[in-house]
Structure 1
Amino acid sequence: MSRSTPAILVTGAAGFVGSHFVRTLLTGGYPSLAGARVTVLDKLTYAGNLANLDPVRDLPGFSFVHGDIADAALVDEVLPGHDAVVHFAAESHVDRSIKGAADFVMTNVVGTHTLLDAALRHGVSPFIHVSTDEVYGSILEGSWPETDPLQPNSPYSASKAASDLIALSYHRTHGLDVRVTRCSNNYGPYQFPEKVIPLFITNLLEGKKVPLYGDGLNVRDWLHVDDHCRAIALVLEKGRPGEIYNIGGGTELTNKELTDRLLAACGATWDSVEYVEDRKGHDRRYSVDWTKIREELGYTPQRDFETGLAETVAWYRENRAWWEPLKKRAAL
């Protein structure tokens, strides 16, 4: 980045992961980015919530723009004067993509292309493109390195794979400094309650049943949002142009094992679990090999899952005023 106190455009930062990144950055959590100014560009869809940014909205380094990343005129207006882009904005819920994929293609593919085009025109880089392990598809054993082919199975993951390829093409064709990250499943405070961990926690706190897909043996690697964002800050600081970095959490659990831990943390029993029909095209197992980011950038996850999950349950227990209106609006 060109200045000692850079200006960073962060897209989608009223959402779960982006808001954590911005809150941590502006409160000194990333020493290499101390003093950075942040512009948040967010459409405020159903999963975007300005309350997620309340702790930093009055800080002098913060500004907010309400708008769509696919709006080329707006992006052209907002982007100049920035030194980097951290691109979180995405439609990300697999179930919603199965019901209708148009919004996913528009935001994840067209929106990403719009940002890249503007970044190239205005000479703004590095461009950190935040992606997902789901682009690799499903793996029964072992772990994917960054060199494995993309085999997405849902409309959501296909749209993210497309955006990854478009982003990398801007590096290979135009020389734009693009860096792609692919993370495993995130959890932590401020996560919209349609996702499995906050959905199960809030349902159990409300005395409702929790829906467990299929046989419950699908495996996911769990990554605390704080570790994910710390890894993104490392990629922004020290990552190499044109490279992909897997970000893992190091805790692989079946959905049944995860459910058992959530029941225990919420003081509930298996009587609260309702087995439901499996999701269409449900990937059996995700697992990323994050050797590269560990060896090149010094990343290792710092939040052990037991502690992180207990803290997350406590946060939802203490912040019903945050999630109850969201669940009501989304009819969850």
Structure 2
Amino acid sequence: MRILLTGGSGFIGTNLTSHLFQKHPDYTIINFSPYRTGSRATNVARFETNPNYIYVDGIIENEQALEQAFGLGVDVVVNLAGQTHIDRSLQTPGSLICANVIGTQKVLDMSRKYSVNRVIQISSAEVYGPVHKGSEVAETFRLAPVNPYGASKVATELITQSYHQTFGMNTIITRSSNNYGPYQTPEKLMPLVITNALLNNPIPLYGDGGQMRDWLHITDHCSALDAIIHNGVPGSVYNIGGNQAATTKDIVQSVLQCLDRPWSLVQSVPDRPGNFDRYPLSFDKLTTDTGWKPTYLLEEGIRETALWYQSNADWWAEQREVTTIR
């Protein structure tokens, strides 16, 4: 099988490439990403000696670059490309919306042109917006995003579904909860708290830290995508959850305990506009269709993740910035 990963040098793409090569060493992985120096190049350097790994330089808005990637022969596309930072979407929504929406349309058009067997569009639980306390969110829950990032993801989902309905394309949409694990940029909650703690720097905390999230280890996310690639039902939408609910404050406390750092590092900052509590996703549909279930307990995942960042300071030091957590 030949799998094209758009955005394959990023957090999910790097881990998914590693997972697929371990589980399916005869597969060909095509990484379509813009060339960058530094940590993103380091992410995929270990794959360069693998004869089944191909790198193509480009962004998904560039049709000529996409033609080069699709022309290599593609069976499955996993569209990971796009912008994902919620706080940045509040500052410059136009560039994020353009990248996510127009880029997805171009990937779908190219997939149709080259008769790709399956397209998996990576979305987010942000599309659901606020959820009543105690609710478990199924795929049929109403979509009500509260920020430009979530709205852009709703748009990509509707476009993807229209290609399935009108052109008969084999498309699948995934909505995952909060991811964490190795190779995640320090702008995100878990690596930001870990790296600040390692440096004994202040750890900013939105409000009282009571925002609830469901936490999904990247290893479990990759195994879910593997299951969907092989056994997902065409036209489906799948939630991918970790079944590990915790507040932001819980995460910070666990990291500090793991790294033996004091709570005095934590500084409360004003909450971001439109922030809300979000509760666990129901992934029963995915389990029924593919047999997938998450395996990571949050305590174990936090410990492994903290130790990875502690052992890979050179990877995150050059790109790290102190920012608020999300």
Is 2:145 the counterpart of 1:152? yes
Deviations 1:289-324 (A, max 9, x none): 111111221111112111111010000001100000
Distance 1:172 1:256 in 2: 43
Q: What runs of 5+ residues in structure 1 fail to find an aligned partner?
A: 1-5
- Aligned-partner Cα distance in 2 for 1:34–1:295: 27
Q: Answer whether contact 1:133 1:286 (CA < 8 A) is retained.
A: no
| Preserved CA contact (<8 Å) 1:193 1:199 | yes
Aligned partners of 1:42 and 1:48 also within 8 Å: no
User: 1:34 Cα shift?
Assistant: 4.0
Q: Which residue of 2 aligns with 1:109?
A: 101
Q: Is the 8 A contact 2:212 2:246 kept in 1?
A: yes
Is residue 2:280 matched to residue 1:287? Answer: yes
- TM-superposed CA distance for 1:103, in Å, is 2.1
Q: Which amino acid aligns with 1:12?
A: G
Offset at residue 125 of structure 1 (A): 2.4
Match of 2:75 in 1: 83
Using the alignment, how far apart are the partners of 1:250 and 1:230 within structure 2?
A: 15
Q: TM-score, normalised by structure 1?
A: 0.93
| One-letter code aligned to 1:172 | Q
Please tell me the residue identity of whatever aligns with 2:58.
G
Match of 1:140 in 2: 132
What displacement does 1:286 show?
A: 3.7
* 2-structure distance, mates of 1:249, 1:45: 31
Deviations 1:100-132 (A, max 9, x none): 112211221100000001111111120011111
| Residue 221 of structure 2 corresponds to residue 236 of structure 1 | no
Compute the TM-score of the two structures, normalised by the length of structure 2. Answer: 0.95
Note the alpha carbon deviations across 1:154-186, whole angstroms, 9 max, x for none: 111111111111111110111000011110000
Secondary structure of 1:315's partner?
helix
1:56-135 correspondence runs (5 A): 56-80=47-71, 81-135=73-127
Asked if the contact 2:100/2:156 (under 8 Å) is kept, the reply is: yes
Cα 1:187–1:46, aligned 2, differ >3 Å: closer, same or farther?
Answer: farther
Which residue of 161, 166, 184 corresponds with 2:159? 166
Q: Is the 8 A contact 2:57 2:65 kept in 1?
A: no
Look up the match of 1:3: none
1:22 aligns with 2:17: yes
Aligned sequence identity (%)? 36
After alignment, is 133-142 or 44-53 more displaced? Answer: 44-53
- What does residue 43 of structure 1 align with? 34
Equivalent pairs counted in the alignment come to 321
What is the deviation of 1:73?
2.1
Counterpart of 1:304? 297
Q: CA deviation at 1:43?
A: 2.1
Q: Distance in 2 between matches of 1:217 and 1:165?
A: 32
Moved runs in structure 1, 4+ residues, more than 4 A? 44-48
Q: 1:47 to 1:116 in 2, by over 3 A?
A: farther
The one-letter code sitting in structure 2 at the alignment partner of 1:23 is S
Report the Cα distance in structure 2 between the residues aligned to 1:101 and 1:44, rounded to whole angstroms.
Answer: 24
Matched, 1:54 2:45: yes
The residue matched to 2:99 in structure 1 has which SS?
helix
Aligned equivalents of 1:58, 1:302: Cα separation in 2? 31
User: CA 1:45–1:277 in 2, change beyond 3 Å: closer, same or farther?
Assistant: farther
Asked if the contact 1:108/1:163 (under 8 Å) is kept, the reply is yes
